[in-house]
Structure 1
Amino acid sequence: MADPTSDVANLAAQLIRIDTSNAGDGGCRERPAAEYVAERLDDAGIEPTLIESSPGRANVVARVPGTDPDRDAMLVHGHLDVVPAEPADWQVHPFAGDVHDGVLWGRGAVDMKGMDAMMLAVARGWMRDGRRPRRDVVLAFTADEEASAEYGSDWLVRKHADLFEGCTEGISESGAYTFHAGDGVRLYPVAAGERGTAWMRLTAHGRAGHGSKVNTDNAVGALAAALARFDAHEWPVRLTPTVRAALERIGAALGVPVDPDDPGFDADAVLRRLGPARQLVDATLRNSTNPTIMQAGYKLNVIPQTATGFVDGRMLPGTQAEFEATVTELAGPRVDWEYEHSEVPLSADVESPTFAAMADALGAEDTDAHVVPVCMSGGTDAKQFSRLGITGYGFAPLQLPPGFDYGALFHGVDERVPVDALDFGVRVLDRFLTTAG
């Protein structure tokens, strides 16, 4: 059997060297990376479909037939765009794709060209060995995930749903990496949920006037007061099934009793007892609303008629009505609000055969792995694919050494990943996709 891990580091480095920075202004061009992916698939005997949603905004989709055509298909998706990087801030140029001391550096190493490379390496390995997954596997390499997904998964779902026919489950980024929780305990958090996106525009209307005069209808003051209320609001704990399971299983791995049904249950007290592992659930116990932008005025001594602010809101599954009622209360009678961009929250079954297969695949490579479900604080392309009835999990396996701050490298300076972590990921991904079903 050929070793697909021998391919993955080179594939990831080549993808990193293709600058697909997405500043959210429509100027990103994923096509060169999409062409590279399509060529690597075609070289291996897998027929790719490369399609543009707009000039330069390219996506690639390919289907690998499984050994049992009666089974539902599995979607494996990764995005080709990355957030921008300022070379002057980095130790190694962010688009050099260099390997130093066994570590691959570059923008996209973890988010998420490393996973794109693992997807390619596994599929190419199957073709070399004459093997097949049990289920049809649909590989999707998308544009625009780092912005609104308008040119990527959103467009694919609206215009090319036929490419995903039969897919009922999917896997993608932000899960199944090593989290060192202390005392030698290695957790592997698999995402089985996402908070919904609720980006909001707030608009205050008032009376324009001279800055030297009394004005009891100042739009800037009304907006500032509303944003201060959003900033100060303490959202109540709302335990979703995924977060409940996360607390229980993380607690079990660490020997910390957790009973959410106890009348005296105090989520914040439990978090303190979980130590570093609290990071895996801290942001998903509650909804959130963080003010991010204020826009008003054009001259210092002119009171403007309107003022606009933006709030990054995130909501847990099952909380939309409560969220919207609270937002209206926080905005107050002088400030209108509307969604600038919204996406649904997601929840996946943590007792499913698919989740069990993920745990088995990780356990086969790391016998001391504790696989736990988590809910993501942000979102992925799984939100768009959910419109096709596809249940999404975050499963991009990496075995990381102690002290490697995986979370800080997402969108951070000096993004990097150990080459042997990619090798581990290929083995786990291969095992999962050839046994799950």
Structure 2
Amino acid sequence: MSQSSAGQDRSGTGQGVGDVDSEVVGLCRDLIRIDTSNYGDGSGPGERAAAEYVAEKLAEVGLEPQIFESRPGRASTVARIAGEDPSRPALLIHGHTDVVPANAADWRLPPFSGEIAEGCVWGRGAVDMKDMDAMTLAVVRERMRTGRKPPRDVVLAFLADEEAGGVYGARYLVDNHPELFEGVTEAISEVGGFSFTVNEDLRLYLIETAQKGIHWMRLTVDGTAGHGSMTNDDNAITELCEAVARLGRHRFPVRATKTVRAFLDELSDAFGIELDAENMEETLARLGGVAKIIGATLQNTATPTQLGAGYKVNVIPGQATAHVDGRFLPGYEEEFLADIDRILGPRVRREDVHTDKALETTFDGALVEAMQSALRAEDPVARAVPYMLSGGTDAKSFDDLGIRAFGFAPLKLPPELDFAGMFHGVDERVPVDGLEFGVRVLDRFLDAC
């Protein structure tokens, strides 16, 4: 246990957080060592082993977790903790246990080893999002051991398939077992609560209050098949590649949503300068790695990710395909799709392979106040600010149940760490002291919410 938390009283009951600081590191390492790679085509190992591990850790402290398997190997774990006042609306804490694949040859350390080096726990899922899974487990296990009930019911959900849209995880549970979330009105999960150091007197902690919507799409062009040695003015590959190049190079217009505008206002105050959403190059340069996330929230985006055509070098194929990862801002879906179709032109056939809504909520209320107070208690120079996530999370599924969602997985990070680059990148890692900070903040947050 770190010195800052030893023996602290969090609830006025004389009970502290116990061994939660030290336990979180072991839990995170254990989870990373369980390979839950999600290839998006059903070929991976699935999440069953991770679901059973989580269920065991929850059952050890007296909870009654349930495992739900939407298809063989695709498993999620859910449990409910009774609060002091069951008449109050419940809180959902959700995380996913699947991870994107990792090529070990690209990594400095084996991606599924959970090794500790340079003050960090290394491995696929270290920040996306087995760190938050471990922090949640550590806090819950200590509170259960010491009999410290949260003020209201808390539902825990450790979910499958988030990295491929949540079809076999959150979406399955929302559609088939909505009773698990009865009474839940608010939720916290990933990609929020992490720090950005402005100077020694100010650290911003970015709380996710919005996220872009999704249009993963397949593009198809039909042409005239023929012999590769002959000229062909109706080559499907040529037509498709020209369209994909136009799309990949296109820069959509800046659209400052209310969340982005609020974040820019906070940055203006932090840096003491006036920021213009239409001219953000200088500001983004000052944000370091966080700029990768923030920059993509200023506009819709469409990123080509896959190409496919042909079966033999001397045969001109009759069809060519591409896949595009499209993301749209809240309120701008129609504009986004109209722009896509205009850029692609009439020869390209577009079809969605996965879609989901954009989300946006306000940065206010008792839950936000609980986040702010918990952060400040552990970091006196903390300031919580709203921001928009450029990607998406399982919060989209829970929104269908009327659950208001926030990204709040608190981490105090060293200024030099390229945190945004850790997501789906090589050498993914999370600082040990960041994990320990996170469990202390989450414990305070549960007392305050």
The TM tier, using the shorter chain, reads: over 0.9
**Structure 2 residue 142 is the aligned partner of structure 1 residue 130:** no
**Structure 2 residue 276 is the aligned partner of structure 1 residue 253:** no
Amino acid at match of 1:42: A
Map 1:315-330 onto structure 2 (within 5 A): 315-330=328-343
CA distance in 1, matches of 2:401, 2:342: 34
CA 1:25–1:189 in 2, change beyond 3 Å: closer, same or farther?
same
CA 1:386–1:408 in 2, change beyond 3 Å: closer, same or farther?
same
User: Which of the residues 27, 30, 34 maps onto 1:14?
Assistant: 30
Map 1:94-113 onto structure 2 (within 5 A): 94-100=111-117, 102-113=119-130
Give the conservation status (yes or no) of the 8 Å contact 1:246–1:281.
no
1:59 partner SS: strand
Query: Which is further off, 61-70 or 209-218?
Result: 209-218
Give the conservation status (yes or no) of the 8 Å contact 1:250–1:372.
no
User: Which of the residues 266, 287, 290 maps onto 2:278?
Assistant: 266
Aligned to 1:81: 98
Aligned to 1:139: 156
1:393 partner SS: strand
CA 1:69–1:236 in 2, change beyond 3 Å: closer, same or farther?
same
Aligned to 1:44: 61
Give the conservation status (yes or no) of the 8 Å contact 2:215–2:355.
yes
Give the conservation status (yes or no) of the 8 Å contact 1:210–1:301.
yes
CA 1:229–1:86 in 2, change beyond 3 Å: closer, same or farther?
closer
Deviation at 1:348, TM superposition (A): 1.6
**Structure 2 residue 170 is the aligned partner of structure 1 residue 153:** yes
Aligned to 1:23: 39
Residues 401-437 of structure 1, C-alpha deviation per residue, up to 9 Å, x if partnerless? 231222222222222222221111011111112211x
Give the conservation status (yes or no) of the 8 Å contact 1:50–1:59.
yes
Amino acid at match of 2:186: E
2:386 partner SS: strand
CA distance in 2, matches of 1:273, 1:188: 18
Deviation at 1:99, TM superposition (A): 2.6
**Structure 2 residue 212 is the aligned partner of structure 1 residue 195:** yes
1:181 partner SS: strand
Amino acid at match of 1:87: A
Give the conservation status (yes or no) of the 8 Å contact 2:225–2:317.
yes
Aligned to 2:420: 407
Give the conservation status (yes or no) of the 8 Å contact 2:254–2:278.
no
2:194 partner SS: coil
User: Which of the residues 310, 316, 326 maps onto 1:303?
Assistant: 316
CA RMSD of aligned residues (A): 1.9
CA 1:214–1:93 in 2, change beyond 3 Å: closer, same or farther?
closer
CA distance in 2, matches of 1:94, 1:272: 30
Deviation at 1:269, TM superposition (A): 5.6
2:280 partner SS: helix
Query: Which is further off, 388-397 or 204-213?
Result: 204-213
CA 1:327–1:89 in 2, change beyond 3 Å: closer, same or farther?
closer
User: Which of the residues 298, 309, 314 maps onto 1:285?
Assistant: 298
2:188 partner SS: strand
CA 1:389–1:16 in 2, change beyond 3 Å: closer, same or farther?
same
5+ residue gaps, structure 2, are 1-14
User: Which of the residues 370, 393, 406 maps onto 1:380?
Assistant: 393
Deviation at 1:98, TM superposition (A): 2.6
Amino acid at match of 1:307: A
CA 1:275–1:63 in 2, change beyond 3 Å: closer, same or farther?
closer
Aligned to 2:21: 5
CA distance in 1, matches of 2:300, 2:106: 33
2:259 partner SS: helix
Aligned to 1:177: 194
**Structure 2 residue 406 is the aligned partner of structure 1 residue 393:** yes
Deviation at 1:282, TM superposition (A): 1.1
What is the aligned length? Answer: 431
CA distance in 2, matches of 1:408, 1:272: 15
State percent identity of aligned pairs: 53
CA distance in 2, matches of 1:93, 1:405: 19
Deviation at 1:12, TM superposition (A): 1.3
Give the conservation status (yes or no) of the 8 Å contact 1:223–1:307.
yes
Residues 228-280 of structure 1, C-alpha deviation per residue, up to 9 Å, x if partnerless? 2212222011111111111111221221234x6xxxx6342663585536445
Amino acid at match of 1:88: A
CA 1:266–1:147 in 2, change beyond 3 Å: closer, same or farther?
closer
Give the conservation status (yes or no) of the 8 Å contact 1:176–1:397.
yes
CA distance in 2, matches of 1:99, 1:239: 40
TM-score where L is the length of structure 2? 0.91
CA 1:185–1:47 in 2, change beyond 3 Å: closer, same or farther?
same
Give the conservation status (yes or no) of the 8 Å contact 1:254–1:274.
no
CA 1:37–1:268 in 2, change beyond 3 Å: closer, same or farther?
same
CA 1:370–1:286 in 2, change beyond 3 Å: closer, same or farther?
same
Aligned to 1:58: 75
**Structure 2 residue 248 is the aligned partner of structure 1 residue 231:** yes
5+ residue gaps, structure 1, are none
User: Which of the residues 425, 431, 437 maps onto 2:438?
Assistant: 425
CA distance in 2, matches of 1:5, 1:355: 24
Deviation at 1:49, TM superposition (A): 0.8
Query: Which is further off, 313-322 or 419-428?
Result: 419-428
Query: Which is further off, 400-409 or 276-285?
Result: 276-285
CA distance in 1, matches of 2:279, 2:370: 30
Deviation at 1:48, TM superposition (A): 0.4
CA 1:63–1:101 in 2, change beyond 3 Å: closer, same or farther?
same
**Structure 2 residue 387 is the aligned partner of structure 1 residue 341:** no
Give the conservation status (yes or no) of the 8 Å contact 2:170–2:397.
yes
Deviation at 1:74, TM superposition (A): 0.9
